[in-house]
Structure 1
Amino acid sequence: MKVALATTLSLAAAAQAAVQGFDISHYQPNVDFAAAKSAGARFVIIKATEGTTYTDPSFSSHYTGATNAGLIRGGYHFAHPGSSTGAAQADYFLAHGGGWSGDGITLPGMLDLESGSSGECWGLSASQMVSWIKSFSDQYHSKTGRYPMIYTSPAWWQDCTGNSNAFASTNPLVLAHYSSSVGPIPGGWPYQTIWQNADSYAYGGDSDIFNGSEDRLRALATG
């Protein structure tokens, strides 16, 4: 993974390419994946789970639709830090669609870190949050050989982890920042792997931009 991250960094520095994608959940029950691909999208990240009790009802149909359209695809887990261990939530995610295989069309799972019903930081201190994320990340890595992507915004990462740099060399960053430019990169990451640049996309969900060429996107899905 560190080799893949370093390679993507060199591509990012040279500003060689970017690839359109999007992310979706059951809030978009009907997605025209073929039309999205025809319009230039090459990947989609699909909500699979929350906590240890919730599975997204549209995950299976979304995953099948994306696969049939020839899109690179992967699942994401909406974290409930503090309600159970990170390892337990990683296991739940893996058991309900969050797995990975090096087939060139499956992205490593994404850990979605943002505010929830328990408040912005889910009642955890910064050090507790870092430990929780590490528990999830290490468990996912132990089961798949890959570290999960981490989705966050600069403000959330600062407020809830103290801007920890504990994951900068292992976990690809999916940066949420709705703007015409990427903006500041949190947590010691040298670059973002994927930029969620808008909260709407023509074919549903949010707009995502991969930071590199389509070949590098496929490499991320290969391992």
Structure 2
Amino acid sequence: MKSFLVTALALAGTAQATVQGFDISHYQSSVNFAAAYSAGARFVIIKATEGTTYTDPSFSSHYTGATNAGFIRGGYHFAHPDSSTGAAQADYFLAHGGGWSGDGITLPGMLDLESVSGSATCFGLSTTAMVAWIKSFSDRYHTKTGRYPMLYTNPSWWTTCTGNSNAFVSTNPLVLARYASVPGTIPGGWPYQTIWQNSDSYTYGGDSDIFNGAMAGLTNLATG
């Protein structure tokens, strides 16, 4: 993974190419994958699980649709650090669609780290406990797949809930959520974002995501 990060950083430094993608869940009950592909999108990140009890009812159909349309695709897990260990949630994610294989079309799983309405700030965890929880999830995922998961977050959450930890810079690709015209300041010591969620609205459903590099880099991310 570290070699990939260095390579991608070199690509990012030239600030030349990007690849359009998007992320979806059951809130997008139907998606015209063929039209999205024709419009230039090349990857899809699909909600698979939350905690250790919830599976997204549209995951299977979305995953099949994305695959059949020729997309690079992968699953994501919505974190609930207040309900069980990171390792337990990684196991649940892996058992319900969150796996990875170096086939060139499967992205490493993504851990969605953000606030939940009605939950305590940072799920009631201290910054030290939160970093440990994320590491538990990440390490278990790595042990089972040989890859570290991508980490999705926004600067405010990461700063408040992890103390702006830089513990994952050399292992986990960053998926940065910031709805703006530019990525802005990158949290956590990451030198750049691997994927930028730049809008909560995409023409063909879900949120707009932009891979920071050319298609070859995206394929490399799905290869290992």
CA-to-aligned-CA distance 1:55-94 (integer Å, 9 cap, x gap): 0000000000000000000000000002100000000000
Partner of 2:169: 168
Partner residue, 1:189: 190
Aligned to 2:48, what secondary structure does the other structure show? Answer: strand
Unaligned runs of 5+ in 2: none
Alignment correspondent of 1:207: 208
Task: Check the 8 A contact 1:74/1:109 in 2, yes or no.
Answer: yes
Distance of 1:5 and 1:43 partners within structure 2? 19
Which residue in the other structure is 1:91 paired with? 91
The alpha-carbon deviation at position 16 of structure 1 amounts to 2.0
What does the per-residue CA deviation read over 1:11-55, in whole Å, with 9 as the maximum and x for residues that have no partner?
A: 000012000000000000100001000000000000000000000
| Matching of residues 53-202 of structure 1 within 5 Å | 53-116=53-116, 117-202=118-203
Structure 2 residue matching 1:167: 3-state secondary structure: coil
Q: SS in structure 1 opposite 2:210?
A: strand
Separation of aligned partners in 1, 2:129 and 2:4:
29
* Preserved CA contact (<8 Å) 1:114 1:120: no
Deviations 1:97-131 (A, max 9, x none): 00000000000000000001422300100000000
Cα distance in 1 for partners of 2:164, 2:98 equals 26
Q: Percent identity?
A: 80
Question: 1-side partners of 2:216 and 2:69: how far apart?
Answer: 18
Aligned equivalent of 2:25 = 25
Rounded Cα–Cα distance in structure 2 between residues aligned with 1:93 and 1:68: 22
What TM-score does the superposition give when structure 1 sets the normalisation length? 0.99
Alignment of 1:13-52 (within 5 A): 13-52=13-52
Mapped partners of 1:18, 1:52: distance in 2:
34
Task: Tell me the C-alpha RMSD between the 2 structures.
Answer: 0.5
Distance 1:26 1:82 in 2: 23
Corresponding pairs, count: 223
Give a deviation string over 1:174-215, Cα, whole Å, max 9, x none. 000000001010000010000000000000000000000001
SS in 2 for 1:121: helix
- Long gaps (5+) in structure 1: none
Q: 2:76 is paired with a residue of what secondary structure?
A: strand
Structure-2 separation of matches of 1:158 and 1:56: 29
Q: So what's the TM-score if we normalise by structure 2? A: 0.99
| Equivalent residue letter for 1:179 | A
Which 4+ residue blocks in structure 1 deviate beyond 4 angstroms? none
